Amino acid sequence: MSTENISTVILSSQGRFKELMSLYLKEYGGYEVLDDFSSDSELYNTLSSIQKSFLIVDTDDDANMDFIARVSSDCPNCKILAVSENPTVDFIIKVMRLGAKEILSSPVIKSEFFDVLKRVCEQLNGEYQKINKCRMITVFSNKGGIGKTSVASNLALELAKTTKENVALIDLNFQLGDITTFLDLKPSFNISYMLKNLDKINKDFLLNTLEKYKNTSLYVLADPPYFKQADDISSKQVARLFDILKDSFSYIVVDTDANFDGKTITALDNSDLLFLVTCINLPALRNCQRCLDLFDKLGYSSDKVQVLVNRYMENDEIKADDAEKVLNKEIYWKIPNNYFTMMAAINKGVPVSEINPASNVAQSYKELAIHVSDSIHRRELIKKYTASSVDSIDNILRG
């Protein structure tokens, strides 16, 4: 481990808090506390100029929350610990979204703080082995013209923007894939090339080979350019590709074709969340009902399979409540109908947020991404604290 001390800043108006953190840091070793800043601007400039740094934030002071977001966005080599007297699940999710990946409750327990210091030290010195927590989301419909590719591409981009983590968007429609058209990309490599070179693939290879969408953390793997290439792709290869991608990305979003072939079933089987896309009209709902029956026979849980309504209109003849009764399932999300904004986005080959970020449909995709990522964090937090004491569970789940 590197012997170079990690520059550390404690942001709090409470003298006792700063004193205790400083004592713990000195006892642990390897951290150098910087203080005597005349303003937040001076503190920010200092963090910006340091190669490796650690920021401890007392979040009971609301003014410090904006500072977390700013540092997280502009200082990628600064690790952030948020400390709060009452860290409810909603609060933890909010702080994690701002950029603090470590959270402790106060008063801080020394052993828990030391565990954080160990992780931060390993991360900043390149010795931390990340535990694979990738979540795979497949967007499916067995009916064409529903808007499945729009959902997949817009959701994937918003996940990348919301979480600031690496997201892979995979076009598994080997015959008529449209993701590169929707995002106006001309990739040098496609999924057929990847599947022929599975033994060469690692994280560096993927991040340098997959097409990156503009200045985001979204990476796109395109469909094969020729029909003949699709014939040579096996379900086993697709499954192996997913395993490799899960080691390098936090989220994988898959756009499938409308057929229940082996490759599509492989994607569905490997998914943590399956969005079954439909519209609220009789033919679409009938097809949706058949898919739900099939997914039930395949053994997919009701939590895994979720119904997403596209082009939703409040004044439709068939209401959302009626659709839920027909499907015997609650609708997970409704993307509002906004024909002109969506068509402008499709025709220009850009996500809807680039056409009109204030539109109802752009806001819906943004909120969907937040909801998906928050739900994942929430399940992980509840699972984590189930093994803790009753008092800790009550505290963390309050609210």
pTM score: 0.72
Return the pLDDT at 175: 65
Higher pLDDT: 234 or 325? It is 325
For residue 1, what pLDDT is reported? 40
For residue range 193-230, what is the model confidence (pLDDT) as tens digits? Answer: 787 778 778 788 888 888 899 989 999 988 766 555 56
Which band of pLDDT confidence, cut at 50, 70 and 90, is reported for residue 395? very low
Share of the chain above pLDDT 70, in %: 89
For residue 224, count CB atoms less than 10 angstroms from its CB and return exposed for 0-12, middle for 13-18, buried for 19 or more: buried
Distance of CA 354 to the CA centre of its chain: 20
Question: What whole-number percentage of the chain has pLDDT above 90?
Answer: 49
pLDDT of residue 377: 62
Angstrom distance (rounded) from CA 227 to CA 322 = 41
Instruction: Give the pLDDT confidence score for residue 215 in this predicted structure.
Output: 87
Residue 266 in this model has a pLDDT that exceeds 90: yes
Inter-residue contact 17 to 106 (CB < 8 Å): yes
Q: What local confidence, expressed as pLDDT, does residue 386 receive?
A: 43
Instruction: Give how far Cα 50 sits from Cα of 26, 34, 44, 279, 329, Å.
Output: 20, 11, 10, 52, 52
What is the pLDDT at residue 117? 94
Give me the pLDDT at residue 13, please. Answer: 87
Q: Per-residue pLDDT tens for 1-47? A: 445 889 999 998 888 999 999 999 999 999 999 987 878 888 888 88
> CA 371, CA 96: separation in Å to the nearest integer?
14
Q: Could you tell me which residues come within 8 angstroms of residue 317 by beta carbon, excluding any fewer than 6 positions away?
A: none
pLDDT digits (tens, 9 = 90+) for 311-320: 999 888 899 9
